[in-house]
Chains A and B, each alone.
Chain A
């Protein structure tokens, strides 16, 4: 009797521990001297040092990838949410021929394997002299983040009662004015969620960043970290320190907005 009531708690404790352990272990590692990393691992750092973190910024200029990621993810999010909002509104509320086909098309693009477009995109960007530039990343990111954005926002717009816009139009507002004055303020939570999810997606993207950047000037955080490995001796201390830093902003976002994120993920998916 008691076990059957308690099992959820057990499960949760186990799963939370399992979720957290790799991070914790990385954190411990990042504070441990390189020589001792594999010697005698203990669950608590005995003599924590900050050398690895220092080295990240003095030897590797790690602030560069951080800056790049912020710019690219930020720009992608801003553009994606704006363009996507208009697109999503039209899809959610307006009647026009080809609407279902368009929605299907946008969703289909979201299912593209990115690998299938990497080479032509590379050549396209190269001909536009956009390799190793910010626009060179933002443009592909836009395309593949857009389906997600549109999908989410169509869901959020549809949740608002259609009568609100109708009332606004009867009151004298044009479609676009009704969108601006009535829909956007009410959909703001949904739009915020979409922005968060788009940001997370852009921050984490790897394949395009790997293929379309050439050096530390424009590489994003995931690429920079992955390429640490290209050394004779893998600098685990620094890698772990970089991992901790890379995880920090996303962790904060998730902790702060977990309810919104969950809402966004599930509203888009389950409602179908």
Chain B
């Protein structure tokens, strides 16, 4: 196991597109680091640079204190699970698992031993002599996983491995991955666009946008103390509400201009009371909660706002209600979107 460090890493493509800007990232040994962000934010590029599939145009990459920037992926002792699994279609599961070890010249007995062990751990024993085309989606995923585990690499890299699975399988496999990480005590760099995956799996999460890391922190810190408006709006579902405010409490910096408050931190009260009034447009009952779409101050008279309310809350569309904000859960941002309070 090893640490991974990105020092001032940048990537500019020949056509001028900037995929990564001055990335600084320090991933500790044994940590589960998630890179998350919308598509095009540069997270996959960053992962591929760690893997060695792309070269940075500036900066250094270190794995286990060794500068690997000029090395190809073969020499970095890493393993990667691709979004499409990239299993070798013409080889059996057993040969797929053994491929990496064979490339390194590991002896036959060792290969057989490790392959069987990994197969057992991932319940792949019955399909060892099948080819990938004959496997289910979930099985293929596990073979991709097994291929990585068998190599016992310094770092595991995952490129959106769950996006090709259906929702139920995704949740199950997520739990599997978490368990696997604990058992192997491995260093993992994991890329996803799904913030829920990031929050549940990561010991730390790096949120990226347009090639820049916005914030690196444990999931709860991202949720409670987002560094800017983008992170605040990205983490947590349904997304945070943003309300432009002209008057701000005097205790805050004079630059504060936008109030952020999460749908879970707003309470619906009777019309006329609370901090604000709002017009109810739509109510979605989700069983465990109600998702209420409102319009501040009146029908079409203010910004849209969403509230998550307990299921027994009496609320009907086309009515005015009152909203009470949980004062200790308010976020303030300046006009550039940076956090000020």
Contacts and interface: CB of A to CB of B under 8 A. Distances in A.
Co-assembled chains A and B = yes
A163 B84 contact: yes
B104 interface: yes
Given A164-B88, A186-B90, A171 B103 contact: yes
B99 A168 contact: yes
User: Which among B52, B74, B89 has the highest number of chain A CB atoms within 10 Å?
Assistant: B74
B336 to A, nearest CB: 38
B86 interface: yes
A172 B84 contact: no
A177 interface: yes
A186 B100 CA distance: 18
Main secondary structure of the interface of A (DSSP, over half): helix
Interface in B66-89: 72-74, 78-80, 82, 84, 86-89
B80 A167 contact: yes
A161 interface: yes
User: Which among A167, A168, A169, A186 has the highest number of chain B CB atoms within 10 Å?
Assistant: A167
Main secondary structure of the interface of B (DSSP, over half): loop
Interface in B46-98: 51-53, 72-74, 78-80, 82, 84, 86-90
Contacts, number: 57
Interface in A169-183: 169-174, 177, 181-182
A171 B149 CA distance: 11
Task: Give chain A's interface residue range (CB within 8 Å of chain B).
Answer: 10 to 19
Contacts of A169: 52-53, 72-74
Interface residues of B, number: 22
Given A166-B53, A166-B73, A173 B103 contact: yes
A161 B74 contact: no
B5 interface: no
Contacts of B89: 186
21 contacts: A161-B84, A161-B86, A163-B82, A163-B84, A164-B88, A166-B80, A168-B99, A169-B52, A169-B73, A170-B51, A170-B53, A170-B73, A170-B74, A170-B80, A170-B100, A171-B99, A171-B100, A171-B151, A173-B103, A185-B90, A186-B90
Given A163-B84, A167-B88, A169-B73, 5 more contacts: A168-B88, A168-B103, A170-B100, A173-B103, A174-B74
